[in-house]
Amino acid sequence: MTNKKGFTWAELIIGFSVVVILGGIALPRLRTLIDESNLVKAEAELKALRVGVESYAAGHGKVYPEMGSSWQSALTDVATRPRLIGTALRDPFSALGASYQYRKTTDGKFYAIWSLGPDHRSDLVFDVSTGTVTAAGDDLYISNGTSGAGGF
C-alpha cells in the first residue's frame, strides 16, 4: 500500500465546478452594484457640474462655457477665481473615460449636461434651438431648458 498525498482528479473537478457556480451567481450581482454606484456618482457629479456652469455664467455676464471636448477647462482653470471645480470630471459610464457630454443652444440661453448611462451610449437629443431635452434609454442629465424624462 502506497501513501500518496494530494487530490484526485475527481476532487479537483468538483472543487473547480463549485467555484465556477459560485462565481456565476456572484458576478451578475457585482455588475448591478457597480452600475448602482456609478449612477449615484454620475448624479452627484452632474449636480456639481451644474453648479460650476451656473457659477461660471454668473461671473461671465450670463454666458455659459463654450462647447467642445474641453468645455470643463473653463471650470477648472486656475485663473478663474474662485476655481469652480478641482479637476475635469469623467463620465463613469464612458468606456474611454471621456468627460460628460455638454451642449448649449445657439442663442446660449440653455444647456444640457449628460452621462451615457449604464448602456454606455448616448440616447439623448438636445434641441439647440429651444433647449428641449428628449432622453430615451438610461441617460442621466441636467438641463436648465425644458426637461423630459430622465432628468433630475
Dihedral (Cα; 79, 82, 86, 87), 10-degree rounding: -40
Q: What is the pLDDT of residue 147?
A: 58
Does residue 123 belong to any structural domain of this protein?
yes
Q: What is the pLDDT of residue 107?
A: 92
Q: What is the pLDDT of residue 81?
A: 65
Q: What is the pLDDT of residue 151?
A: 53
Does residue 152 belong to any structural domain of this protein?
no
Q: For residues 56 and 82, is the Cβ–Cβ distance under 8 A?
A: no
Q: How confident is the model at residue 134 (pLDDT cuts 50, 70, 90)?
A: confident
Answer yes or no: is pLDDT of 58 > 80: yes
Q: What span, in angstroms and rounded, lies between the C-alpha atoms of 82 and 52?
A: 10
**Angle value at C-alpha 136, between 134 and 139, nearest 5 degrees:** 95
What's the pLDDT tens digit per position in 62-85?
999 998 878 888 888 877 666 778
Q: How confident is the model at residue 1 (pLDDT cuts 50, 70, 90)?
A: low
Q: What span, in angstroms and rounded, lies between the C-alpha atoms of 150 and 81?
A: 33
Quick one: 126 exposed, middle or buried, by C-beta within 10 A (0-12, 13-18, 19+)? buried
The CATH number assigned to the domain holding 90 equals 3.30.700.10
Answer yes or no: is pLDDT of 88 > 60: yes
Q: What is the pLDDT of residue 37?
A: 94
Q: What is the pLDDT of residue 148?
A: 54
Does residue 41 belong to any structural domain of this protein?
yes
Does residue 57 belong to any structural domain of this protein?
yes
Domain count for the chain, please give it: 1
Does residue 53 belong to any structural domain of this protein?
yes
Q: Show the domain range for 112.
A: 9-143
Does residue 87 belong to any structural domain of this protein?
yes
More confident residue, 124 or 136: 124
> What mean pLDDT, rounded, does the chain reach?
86
List the grid coordinates of 91: 463620465
Taking each continuous run of H as one helix and of E as one strand, the counts in the chain are 2, 5
Query: Which residue, 68, 46, 43, is CA-closest to 144?
Result: 46
Q: What span, in angstroms and rounded, lies between the C-alpha atoms of 64 and 13?
A: 62
What's the pLDDT tens digit per position in 42-57?
999 999 999 999 988 9
